[in-house]
Structure 1
Amino acid sequence: MGEVISLKKIGKTSRNYAQAELAQLYQKFETQPHGLTSAQAAARLQRFGPNTIQRTKKQSQFKQFLKNFTSLMAILLWISGLVAILTNTIELGIAIWCVNLINGCFSYYQQHAAQKATDSMLAMLPVFTQVYRDGQLQQLNATEIVPGDVFSIQAGDSVPVDARLLSATTFQVDESALTGESVPESKDVLYEPGEGQFAETNMIYAGTAAVSGKATALVLATGMQTEFGKIAALTHQQKKTLSPLQRELNRLTKQLSLIAFSIGIVFFIAALFFVHYTAAKAFIFALGLVVAFIPEGLLPTVTLSLAQGVKRMAKKHALVKELNSIETLGETTVICSDKTGTLTQNQMTITHVWTPLHDYQVTGQGYQINGKIMLDNQPLASATTSELEKLLLTAALDNDTKLELNQQDQSKNKLIGTPTEGALCALVGKAGIKLHTLQQKYPRLKEFPFDSRRKRMTTVHQTTNKTYLVLVKGALSDLLPKCTHLQFKEQAIPLDETHKRKINTANQDFAAQGLRSLGFAYKEISQDQVNLNELTLDAAESGLTFLGLTAMTDPPRPEAYKAVEMCRQAHIKIIMVTGDSPLTAKSVAQKIGITASEPRIVTGAELEKMSTDELSHALSGEIIFARVAPEQKYRIVSTLQDQGEIVAATGDGVNDAPALKKADIGVAMGKMGTDVAKDAADIILTDDNFASIVAAVEEGRAVYSNIQKFLLYILNSNVPEAVPSLLFLFSRGAIPLPLTVMQILTVDLGTDMLPALGLGSERAEPNVMQQPPRARDAHLLRRSIIWKAFGWYGLVASAVSALAYFFVNIQAGWPQQVLAASGPIYKEATTMTLAAIVFCQIAAVMNCRTQKESVFRIGLFSNHQILIGIIFEVALLSILIYTPILQEAFNTGAIGWQEWCMLLLIPIPLFLIEELRKMFSRKFFN
């Protein structure tokens, strides 16, 4: 990796290069204006390596495989199985190990499948670049570029390196991947610092893209030495800690292990002193209870729950790289969201056209052919507004955007140019004006390209009445001083101070709404009075007639409104963290509902001066961060985590990657996102849809809820498994053991497994997104679960199973006859105890499907996996009861139709009683 990159170093080298003299740079890089020779380039390729971005180093497949067998729960199961084998209960040990093996292989398969899908998305840098070698322009693979090369770039090309401009013609670059700024930066050979990081006018950076004009540039850095690469290196340094779910499962394992071994010790001592077992026999007896309280099915259920969530998310265009990411997102309390491309469409759209007569509202979004511009609720075609027609004429002709046609599918026609000029073309199209027809009618004769100093673009066109038409567009502050007249209806009138105040007020109103405005002006020059070849810039841009303004924005994604509202209902705070301007950020945040009141807006410059305590205090209220640098996004996420928040960070640019890696859950955009962002993230949205995050939150909450349901289910069966042993012990052996160790294992590793796994696939309850995220101090094994499992479900099941045991003995003559300790009656009695527990578990698995909601509302038969599990456990029970060889192994005996009638009646009242309890709970405790 080389040297460790400091957060503070990012961007500093580029600023030094931007201010250096070109002669110094040529000397430093031992190159010339026409580039390197092939020999020089080959030597440097050996020295600096290929122009590629290194990905995060990943564990070997073997280590990833072993990792699934070394969790705390897995280790406990390995030990339990070994102890069982050493104590001669070989069947028990093999069964536990098989569960562990199956679960580990299943987990590895799910993780490997997710990683494989992610790897297939990687496509880092452009394939080819025009580079000067041996004085000739050659097309080379971008990986072969070296420092000191000189290359050519034009609109539509990606920038493969960090470089200093040598020449530039109307050159603009989209730097949103680095800065989050949605509007392209104008670039020129002359140095100006610009606003924010990476804004030097004479520098271009890897990971960005040219959107207009053309340029040549000197390569200063390649690969991991670029600013793009430095941020990637910073991202790679971040170590992922255990997820909240992993930490909670470890805690749960310790708790259940403590309970199990404590019970084992108690029963071991009791067996020695109450029924005078030998130490070896007492140990086997206690071991059965220890195993009964260890949830062998916990890991398979967790894995299945996560895997089911992953599959459902894949259908909703979210690629999950690690299974635990789903559950972590369900715990999220704060989402730090990028703006451009995440909450917005990353597509500039004109919303208003302002002239001295009217403020026209543009309807529709995006590039629509059939859209109309509305004037006082009337289509433009019915209005006679000369100033609007001239403004649209200027927007169409004073424009370098080109349309790349797709002959097979016109909906896939591509505009090549800046987003601003593309929005102007869409505006003209919405008015029903044919761009190509206008260009033919008014051919361009001369142009004065846009540059960052004068902030204007001017073109000169031929007309049919022996005049030249001069069209100008640009920033109002620079354009208005060049105007002497104002277009009012069909005539030009002198531009006075009153008019200027009105124009500036309109411009300020648009700015207050977070809209970007652009001014338009024109003039006509007689061909007899001017020699076009001698027309200067100053002459062309003087004495202009002002036409009006357009106001544009990067509109929010339509689905973002509902997604933000769902986050608000789910008590999840959204903080916008963007490289865009404060006003634009505030406008978008208020429009889609992220902030309801006047939020505090903190810029990167302000954040730089804030202490940690000041930042923590600011984060407690409604806040927006604008013009922030990568290290500042990282700092915001870190501070939130220090406050105890579970943080999800979203983004698409390389500038987002450190924060994505640092966050508890990183969410990258799949379409517009850079590969560094995708590599750092835990989840990739293949449709760049912010709403998919909300769907993932719902899935995550469902996963955690399902784990709790499973926990309740298995703990419920532990009580009726333990009570028969208590009867045996406290009666000092007068009541023969109603349930054997192998029968306990039949429930834990046999009949309970499939229904429990079915609970892992249960969908989220209807009100899950109306609940706040679980508290950080809340745990899987809650008091409510313990009470419900031991004090309600468990006690009822214990009573029913004990009743079933005595039912058989009563039929055989008890209490007149002594309870049988062996023989057919004893086997039939223990079989009924086992069967009663199984049928109580049928009711329990249906009851555990919801916490408060009625099972009838979600659908009594909607979970097919649970239904299959119930059929399986009844079938397995029947096989154990009626198969002679298994009767001997599991101490079971055949039962008659009266017993079956009793068993079939057990689940119905248990299920209905719980439904009544839930109804009471909804009515009085909601």
Structure 2
Amino acid sequence: MAARTDPPEVQPEPVPAYLRIAADVLADLGTDARTGLPAGEVRQRLARYGPNALPVAPAVPAWRRFLAQFRDVLTVLLLVATAVSFVAWSIERDAPAPYEALTILAIVLLNGVLGFLQERRAEQALAALEAMSAPVARVRRDGEQRLVPTADLVPGDILLLEEGDTIAADARVLEPIALRAAEAALTGESTPVSKTAAPIPGEAALGDRRNMLFGGTSIAAGRGRAVVTATGPSTELGRIAASLRETEETATPLQRELDRVGKLLGGAVIAIAVVIGATIVALQEVRSLAAMVDVLLLAVSLAVAAVPEGLTAITTIVLSLGTQRMARRNVIVRRLASVETLGSTTAICSDKTGTLTRNEMTVRAVVTASGAVELTGVGYDPSGEVRRDGAPVDDAALLEEVERTLGAGALASNAVLLERDGRWTIQGDPTEAALVVAARKVGRTAERLDARFPRVGEVPFTSERKLMSTAHADAEEATRVVVFAKGAPDVLLPRCVEERVGAGTRALGPARREEISRAVDALGAAALRTLAVAYRTLDRGALPGAPTEDVEQGLVLLGVVGMIDPPRAEARPAVAQAKGAGVRPIIITGDHPLTASAIAAELGIAPKGARAVVGTELQRMDDARLRVVVRETSVFARVAPDHKLRIVRALQANGEIAAMTGDGVNDAPALKAADIGVAMGIAGTDVAKGAADMVLADDNFASIVAAVEEGRSIFANIQRFLRYLLSSNIGEVLVMFLGVVLAPVIGLVPGPGSAVVVPLLATQILWINLLTDAGPALALGVEPADPDVMRRPPRDPRSSVVGTRAWIDIVLVGAVMAVGTLGVMDWALPGGLIEGTAPAGRGLRYAQTMAFTTLVLFQLFNTFAVRFEAHSAFHRTFANRWLWLAVLSSAALQVAVVHLPFLQRAFRTVPLGARDWLVCLAVASAVLWVTELKKRLVRAR
């Protein structure tokens, strides 16, 4: 709901809408309740009133975000030391220009630019995700139902509301059908408020305005229509929000752990930098101002380079880019923290309808008093015919019963069948749509049915009642009202006292009830979902107002309808992939247990003949028994939404990490309690989406499995670049520490006129940091998913992102880098442990250039070494083109630093010959061969 806008025009409201009749409110707003606003008028009002969004604090200017990159204490200290270096040069004039100070300043600025760009990239990625999950509202415009972004709502729009919808703006109720709104968030009212279309007789407090709906609240039950009276800042929520200016962002558990690792390592590095500085002062003759400045610059540069301050920024970018990849696979991640949990998921509790199946219900069978028939056709295309044993039906009584059953089912439905560009689509519930389509196949079109039986009231369906009824006037018999009901057979059948047979009725006895129950079980065993359809006639005077549940007694059974929602083609391989990854799929559905078991067996979730546990059994179980059952059972049927919550908690009590799907208002507690709450993007209510961690854009089980795969891949990438950064930083620290302590041993002694001698200069350390924290680290963060990632068991959520084994590898790699780098320096210097074979007269700068280049190449080879924890570095060698681009670019920059004269002056390097480069490459490649040997030993063990 948040957007950056100029202050919109204040919307006039001379007399509050709740005090006036609905017709006057519509007239003042210039809108029509049946057709809504025309598109042109919507554009004009949107320009006049602004978007339906709450204003946010102004964006921080780019220049301030850039300067924020330099507020780190170490960076500030480095800049101060650089300024001191410039002052020392201006006093002593020991060089033509202050190359070192200028180079350090340039690197600090480049680091700042890099950090700024990383933050902006992360913000853009998160903004893109937010836009993908932008809420929508159902409205009537130009006479048609449309889904529009809530930001595009304007005063005068006609809202079409269903149970579970979040109300997008303040609105005056026009037509409430058992409409109740949950307004606790705004008014503090703990129970849902029943709504009316009648005006309030006098001034009323917010909670007493029963004919108003308020933005930010939700529909708890029923459905209805309302006209938008205020949007954006003019809503009641907007008035409250005007006093709130803060937006608090909380770090994910992963980011908090990375921050802890960074601070721990940073503290150690700073301590080591202080020790190195003190050691240099103690062991070497540091007397002059310039020498003291060199030591200060060196210590601070080492601390700045070795502290992994970029961990959080790079992690955010990797998470954001990963979640964008998920979005392309129809998974919208609402909370980045959920990505961490995906890799640990051990159970996916999935609804059946629309998630494992196509959600295109098709009526295949109808059972009436005169027998059973099949209905041909697939999906929502209303072409098909009635058949019996493969041949057209010629029994007039049977045909009449079938037509009446399907016509009544269509009347007791709210779905709408639409044809656009030759393609049939539906608006509304797929089950109801199947009845509408089936009725059309036998000639009972919506237009014909509505003309004969205009609706006058409704008793809405709820997941607890499993029943829906509608009341209709009869255009041919004005003195009567007909109630049509549809619902679960086990719920509706006990309410029936008679059965329709041809043109008459007969009493329903125990034997016939048992026969109908067997027919229902036979349909369920064939994986068909069953609905019973019934009716009742009343005198017009017996229904003076809105119908209540009392009308759902004394019904006449018309028939039982069997529907099939075929499994998605991709569901079975997705189930197999999940099971191969150690993730157990579990079906939790409100459908008949036989239907659920049949689908589970077809998809490989449970063996054929496996029994489903039904909701009534769950109700009788205590928590201890349920914990045992959820370990052994993969199919739960006829469950209520509150059972989902108990199943999730039982799985969690068993140590499972559970993902739970849901779409209804009552699913919200289970979605919140689950480790990963997954809402349906198509069928899901706004309340369910708000409670979920992820939203499926296609309501597809395969997308959940894809999200688990992406989550595992993202976490593996984070571990990759962490191993890379930490091992590289430790390598730098060890080179400096051991180089200073062992300087006499490796022949590192001060040259003429120099008081301070170190393996690497401050500028060189900062340059290495710039190279490693940029391209290579980010490239490791976008490594394509390993094909083996879904053949491994789930990650233990209690394990650290950098575990003991990883730390051993990190220290090993850092030690190899240090030994190799100092070995090359010893080889390039006269004396020391290795008798130098370098050309005579090359001196200290040559040895430092060799060590500098070797350490850079070590880190570039390390990018390949850390790609896989167990696989060889040569596994899928060219799968990550970004990594090759980053490595080759970094190598080219190092060549430039060594061979371009102006960079030589800045970094105090000298040109290297072909033999020198071969030596550096050969030694630096050792990190690859050492890790390859270690991996081979691990694989063998």
Q: Identify the TM-score tier after normalising by the shorter chain.
A: 0.5 to 0.7
User: Which of 265, 269, 274 is matched with 1:256 structurally?
Assistant: 265
Structure 2 CA distance for aligned equivalents of residues 449 and 519 of structure 1: 19
Please report how far the alpha carbon of residue 389 of structure 1 lies from its aligned counterpart in structure 2 after TM superposition: 3.5
One-letter amino acid of the counterpart of residue 766, structure 1: P
Aligned to 2:752: none
- Counterpart residue identity of residue 868, structure 1: L
Post-superposition shift, 1:411?
0.7
For residue 126 of structure 1, the aligned residue among 103, 119, 139 is 139
Tell me if the contact between 2:827 and 2:835 (Cα under 8 Å) persists in the aligned partners: no
My pick for the range that moved more, 398-407 or 683-692, is 398-407
Q: Which residue matches 1:301?
A: 314
* CA deviation after TM superposition for structure 1 residue 803, in Å: 3.7
> 3-state SS of the aligned residue for 1:767?
helix
What is the identity, as a one-letter code, of the residue corresponding to 2:728? S
User: Quick check: 97-106 or 551-560, which moved more?
Assistant: 551-560
- Give the one of 863, 868, 875 matched to 1:845: 863
* Residue number among 761, 767, 782 corresponding to 2:782 in the alignment: 761
The answer for unaligned runs of 5 or more in structure 2 is 2-17, 31-48, 86-99, 144-151, 185-194, 198-209, 461-467, 477-481, 544-551, 750-757
**Counterparts of 1:556 and 1:106, CA distance in 2:** 43
The one-letter amino acid of 2:723's match is: L
Does 772-781 or 650-659 show the bigger shift?
650-659
* Structure 2 residue 908 is the aligned partner of structure 1 residue 897: no
Summarize deviations over 1:45-103 as a string: whole Å, max 9, x none.
xxxxxx999978866532999899989x9846645644654663744465345424432
Q: Which string of whole-angstrom CA distances, capped at 9 and with x for unpartnered residues, describes residues 624-657 of structure 1?
A: 995447xx99999999999998776655556666
Q: Output the CA distance in 1 between the equivalents of 2:517 and 2:237.
A: 39
Partner of 1:518: 532
Q: 1:245 to 1:420 in 2, by over 3 A?
A: closer
SS at match of 1:422: helix
Selected match of 1:393 from 400, 403, 407: 403
Shift of 1:296: 5.0
CA contact (8 A) 2:828 2:847 kept: yes
Over the matched positions of the two proteins, sequence identity in percent amounts to 29
Name which of 502, 516, 519 aligns with 1:506. 519
Listed one character per residue, the Cα deviations across residues 234-293 of structure 1 (whole Å, up to 9, x for unaligned) are: xx9998743122211211112211221232233234334444546665544433443342
Give, as a single letter, the amino acid of the residue that structure 1 aligns with 2:306.
F
| Separation of aligned partners in 2, 1:493 and 1:39 | 55
In the alignment, which of 367, 375, 385 is matched to residue 380 of structure 2?
Answer: 367
User: Match of 2:787, SS?
Assistant: coil
Bigger Cα displacement from structure 2, 569-578 vs 290-299: 569-578
1:528 aligns with none
Q: Are 2:138 and 2:159, in contact at CA under 8 Å, matched by a contact in 1?
A: no
Give per-residue Cα distances to partners, 1:708-762, cap 9 Å, x unaligned.
2122223333454323641442344743444333323332213663222211111
Shift of 1:895: 1.9
Q: For residue 900 of structure 1, give the secondary structure of its aligned residue in structure 2.
A: helix
Query: 2:366 maps to what in 1?
Result: 353
Give 1:781's match in structure 2, choosing from 802, 816, 829: 802
Calculate the aligned-residue CA RMSD, in Å.
6.6
Counterpart residue number, 1:801: 821
Quick check: 1:129–1:142 contact (8 Å CA) kept in 2?
Answer: no
**Aligned pair in 2 of structure 1 residues 675, 482: CA closer, same or farther (>3 Å)?**
closer
Cα deviation 1:114-165 (Å, max 9, x = unaligned): 43664584444636799xxxxxxxxxx997699xxxx999999999999999
Residue 485 of structure 1 contacts residue 493 of structure 1 at CA under 8 Å; is this kept in 2?
yes
The code of the aligned residue for 2:421 comes to: D
For residue 718 of structure 2, what is the aligned residue in structure 1? 707
Q: Tell me, yes or no, if the aligned pair for 1:205 and 1:228 is still in contact at 8 Å.
A: no
Checking the alignment, whether the CA contact within 8 Å between 2:498 and 2:507 is kept in structure 1 is no
Q: Would you say 1:862 and 2:879 are equivalent positions?
A: yes
For 1:654-679, what per-residue CA distance to the aligned partner results, in whole angstroms no more than 9, with x for missing partners? Answer: 66668778877665544455556656
CA shift, 1:765, in A, is: 1.7
**Aligned equivalent of 1:828:** 846
CA distance in 1: counterparts of 2:703 and 2:334, whole angstroms: 15
For each residue in 1:569-622, what CA deviation from the matched residue of structure 2 results, as whole angstroms up to 9, or x when unmatched?
5455778888x6896997799577778875584899999xx99x9999999997
Aligned to 2:59: 61
Report the secondary structure of 2:896's partner residue.
Answer: helix
**Closer, same or farther: CA 410–332 of 1 in aligned 2, 3 Å:** same
Look up the match of 2:203. Answer: none
| One-letter amino acid of the counterpart of residue 114, structure 2 | I
Q: What is residue 6 of structure 2 aligned with on the other side?
A: none
Quick one: which of 763, 777, 780 aligns to 1:742?
763
Gaps of 5+ in 1: 2-28, 42-50, 131-140, 179-186, 190-201, 463-469, 524-531
| 1:739 match: secondary structure | coil
Amino acid at match of 2:824: A
Q: 3-state DSSP class of the match of 1:550? A: strand
Deviation at 1:687, TM superposition (A): 3.5
Map 1:77-116 to 2 at 5 A.
78-79=75-76, 81-82=78-79, 84-85=81-82, 88=85, 90=101, 91-92=103-104, 95-96=107-108, 98-112=110-124, 114-115=126-127
One-letter amino acid of the counterpart of residue 260, structure 2? R
Structure 1 SS opposite 2:60: helix
The match for 1:888 among 892, 905, 909 is 905
Corresponding pairs, count: 813
Q: For 1:353 and 1:224, locate their aligned partners in 2 and report how far apart those are by CA, in whole Å.
A: 53
Q: C-alpha separation between the residues in 2 aligned to 1:775 and 1:210?
A: 41
Q: Is the 8 A contact 1:668 1:683 kept in 2?
A: yes
Match of 2:329 in 1: 316
- Distance (Å, rounded) in 2 between the aligned partners of 1:542 and 1:887: 94
Provide the TM-score with structure 1 as the length reference. 0.67
Residue 516 of structure 1: CA displacement?
3.8
Q: Which amino acid aligns with 1:99?
A: N
CA contact (8 A) 1:163 1:220 kept: yes
Report if the CA contact (8 A) 2:529-2:564 is conserved: yes
Letter paired with 2:776:
P
Contact 1:571 1:771 (8 Å CA) reproduced: yes
Task: Using the TM superposition, give the Cα deviation of residue 844 of structure 1 relative to its aligned residue in structure 2, in angstroms.
Answer: 1.7
Q: How does 1:609-620 map to 2 (within 5 A)?
A: none
Deviates most, 337-346 or 861-870: 337-346
2:276 equivalent in structure 1: 267
Provide the secondary structure at the position in 1 that maps to 2:905: helix
Residues 1:53 and 1:818: Cα distance change in structure 2 (over 3 Å): closer
Residue 798 of structure 1 deviates from its aligned partner by: 3.3
Q: Which amino acid aligns with 2:517?
A: N
Q: Is the 8 A contact 2:366 2:374 kept in 1?
A: yes
- Contact 1:65-1:108 within 8 A present in 2 as well: no
Contact 1:634 1:662 in 2 (8 A): yes
**Contact in 2 for aligned 1:372/1:380 (Cα 8 Å):** no
The residue type equivalent to 2:805 in the other structure is: S
Q: Is the Cα–Cα contact under 8 Å of residues 305 and 760 in structure 1 kept in the other structure?
A: yes
Partners of 2:770 and 2:713 in 1: CA distance: 25
Q: Which of the residues 544, 550, 556 maps onto 2:561?
A: 550
Check conservation: 1:394, 1:472, Cα contact below 8 A.
no
